[in-house]
Amino acid sequence: NEDAQKILNEAASVAEQKIKDKFPELPAGLPTAGEKALPESQSQNL
């Protein structure tokens, strides 16, 4: 339902902010949560 979705979205935002506070600078080359770490040869074929 909509209320649950609102709460989950807010919780995700809070969690993301806490992570950013804890780890302010990450190298740009790291894969994000939505990506899978693939060997270089495979990632070029996506």
1-46 pLDDT tens trace: 899 999 999 999 999 888 888 776 666 666 665 555 555 555 555 5
Q: Are the C-beta atoms of residues 43 and 37 closer than 8 Å to each other? A: no
Separation CA 36–CA 45 (nearest Å): 13
Per the structure, the complete domain to which residue 33 belongs is given by: 2-43
Burial 7-37 (b: 16+ CB within 10 A, else e): eeeeeeeeeeeeeeeeeeeeeeeeeeeeeee
Domains identified in the chain, total number: 1
Q: What is residue 22's predicted lDDT score, i.e. its pLDDT? A: 79
Q: What is residue 46's predicted lDDT score, i.e. its pLDDT? A: 53
